Chains A and B, each alone.
Chain A
Amino acid sequence: MRLMQKLGAWFDLRLQLGTPIRETMEHSVPRETASWFYVFGSAALTCFMLQIVTGILLALIYVPSAGEAWSSLQTLNHGIALGWFIRALHGWGSNFMVAIVLIHMVQVFLFGAYKFPRELTWIVGVFLLLVTLGMAFSGQVLRFDQDAYWGLGIGASIASRVPVIGPWAVNLMLGGPIIAGATLSRFFALHVFVIPGLLIAFVCVHLLMVLKLGINEWPMPGRIVRRSTYLQEYHELTHKEGVPFVPNAVWKDILFSAFILLSIAACAIYFGPFGPGGQPDPTIIQTSPRPDFFFLWLYALLSFLPPSAETPILLIGPVIGILVLLALPFVAGEGEKSWKRRPIAVLTILLVAVALGTLTHLAEHTPWSPVMDAWSSLPIPQPYLQGRTALQRRGALVFQVKQCHNCHSLDGKGGQRGPALDRVALRLTEDQLIRQVIQGGGNMPAYGKNLSPAETTALVSFLETLHPANQPPARNASQSLSTTEVPPR
């Protein structure tokens, strides 16, 4: 023991870190902040450290080359002892990190921690969110499969819409005229050197400010933040009724971090690594690219925006969003901190959460995409064919062969791009059905050129049968009059 003390003293004489470390550990924090609500920042940092370690381990095997990356991922999954587990830890660590960073941000927002004097801490936090999302996207590219390839295509298509410099931006992003080796190499450089470097720098500044300015006190309704008095009030709060950070507050951080690491490991073991999906071969077009979980909401948004609004919203929306986040501490730098007295703040969080949740849910079901193989893999349900005439059955065949099933569902199966057709005969008369099939419209292609008159007749007679047995189909009340032959005088 005495030897250890001597060694410690030897190093401390030279490093002189003992005193600052002790001061940091023992610094006073407001008593109520030793709370389970204050553990998310440290948990995000724990995730980041896990990502660094597992990332370095993956880099021992991974080959950042467009021709080799996919097979090196296969080797990691199947050829290296527990390579799959390291990949799974890195993948799940990424998901947990994004989630915890978001939770941390919501907590900080609702507790008013961005107010004076912690404006810069919040701003650096916004940059930390952006670089974390940057890591998530570039990491998805390094998992160089079909989703990564076409995801890059989507990124390039969005970048190309920037006025004037769009085509340059595409070339800069792809590293050349097409998605190829240069593209993967630059995303590797971003994911492994550039963004982690920024992340480490931002984390250091963020942490430094948390230590220098002190952790945000527990917000009490009615305790108003004023620039003139806040520092004095905080000083009294921490020194009169404060507790030392170690051990009073830190034990919750440590326990929660352990819990998070355990959860990541459990997910990694239970669910395994993410992909890789199909080979990144652009000539294999039987693919349905979709982004990773945290970008699904964007995927949904892109299909719902009207075409004319898409480019402006895509290009201007993120800028406005980031500016709002950056401006927040300057607009609301003083005043009430407690969420109990800030209904608009709570409503904003709820609104954003509901919007993102809804879009993510929709993106998991992709009701806007045709089910590309429905016409050949999903048969028409039996009851829709029983007791039908030959013409109606012929119409059912046309329905399948002409890919109607890709966009229209029957009995809940098939595409959801267009309306379900189980009760279509209640909505549209025969004439309206013919018009809709031939002319399209309302987001349906016109089939006029692709159906013979006989096929159209058959199809419509099949569609006419799609109504509940006890409800008669829609009919044009004047049709009988107009089609009745008038006897010649």
Chain B
Amino acid sequence: MSTENGVSRRAALVKLGLFLNGIVGIFLAVPVVRYLFSPVTREKKFGYDSWLSLGALEQFPAGQTRLATYKNPVVNAWDGETGDIACWVRNLDGHTFQVFAINCAHLGCPVRWFPQSSLFMCPCHGGVYYQDGSRASGPPERGLFQYHYKIENGKLLIKAGEMPTPGQPVARNVEGKTTCA
């Protein structure tokens, strides 16, 4: 065996080794990437977006807006209090409801309801909304996010499971009515 041949054979073996490592690397990378992106692909999981009870209808008197809380449908044992989510329930006339997300449509801070002036106010950047959730003033670009609701067996149910954000409002087809300001 000539030296030249020996060198080229070893160089080829190094290349083979690197090639094999590359294959193994890709083989290992697939499950790692799949694992890392599991929060994105979890939508197929059962129960992530489900109908949740906010309680009996009597808790929400007609003509009033009340705070309600629910347990997020997908929680882990170690989520603690963070699994409890608040929302505002407005009973218009005893039959028609509006359920608003607690999160301001600007940057997600918790809005507060003031029944005396019929306004929602946000403590962070001063977004204000009218009682029907439409934008009144401040930095928000839209009205409050709303959940789909239905009434079953005297209970108010909403479809929830995901934190609403400007890029992903909970229910796209439930929009606050625009009020002439």
Q: Specify which of B75, B106, B112, B123 lies most central, judged by the most chain A CB atoms within 10 Å of its CB.
A: B123
A391 within 8 A of B: no
* A445 surroundings in chain B (CB, below 8 A): 119, 128, 130, 136-137, 181
Are B124's CB and A369's CB within 8 A?
yes
Q: Considering residues A168, A177, A290, A441, which has the most beta carbons from chain B within 10 angstroms of its beta carbon?
A: A177
Is B78 in the interface zone, CB < 8 Å from A? yes
The secondary structure that dominates the A interface is: loop
Residue B51, interface by CB 8 Å: no
Is the Cβ of A176 less than 8 Å from the Cβ of B112?
Answer: no
Cα(A287)–Cα(B63), bound, Å: 26
Contact present for A68 and B78 (CB under 8 Å): yes
Q: Of B74, B84, B118, which contacts A449 at CB under 8 A? A: B118
Which residues in chain B, 91-143, are within 8 Å of chain A measured between CB atoms? Answer: 102-103, 106-112, 114, 116-119, 121, 123-126, 128, 130, 136-141
Binds A, one of B15-23, B53-61, B162-170: B162-170
Chain A residues contacting B179 (CB-CB under 8 Å) are 446
Interface string of A400-420 (1 = CB under 8 A from B): 011110110000000001000
Q: State in angstroms the CA–CA spacing of A372 and B127 once bound together.
A: 12
A289 to B108 CA separation, bound complex (whole angstroms): 11
Is B62 interfacial (CB-CB < 8 Å)?
A: no
In the complex, number of A-B residue pairs with CB atoms less than 8 Å apart: 207
Residue of A nearest to B48 (CB): A177
In the complex, the answer to whether A285 meets B67 with C-beta atoms within 8 Å is yes
| Bound CA span A140–B121, Å | 26
Distance of A126 Cα from B18 Cα, bound (Å): 34
What chain A residues lie within 8 Å of B167 (beta carbons)? Answer: 159-162, 166-167, 170
A400–B117 Cα gap in the complex (Å)? 10
- B80 CB contacts on chain A under 8 angstroms: 65-68, 181, 280
A443 to chain B, nearest CB (A): 5
Q: Provided the pairs A177-B72, A283-B86, A303-B125 are in contact, do residues A160 and B165 lie with their beta carbons within 8 angstroms?
A: yes
Q: How far is the CA of A280 from the CA of B79 in the complex (A)?
A: 11
Q: With A175-B39, A445-B137 in contact, is A66–B123 under 8 Å at CB?
A: no
Which single residue of chain B is at the shortest CB-CB distance from A163?
B167
Bound CA span A154–B139, Å:
14
A181 and B81 contact, CB distance less than 8 A? no
Q: Which residues on A sit within 8 Å (CB–CB) of B130?
A: 445-446, 449
Q: Which residues of A contact B118 (CB under 8 A)?
A: 449-450
A-B contact pairs, 5 of them (CB 8 A): A177-B74, A178-B82, A180-B82, A305-B139, A440-B136
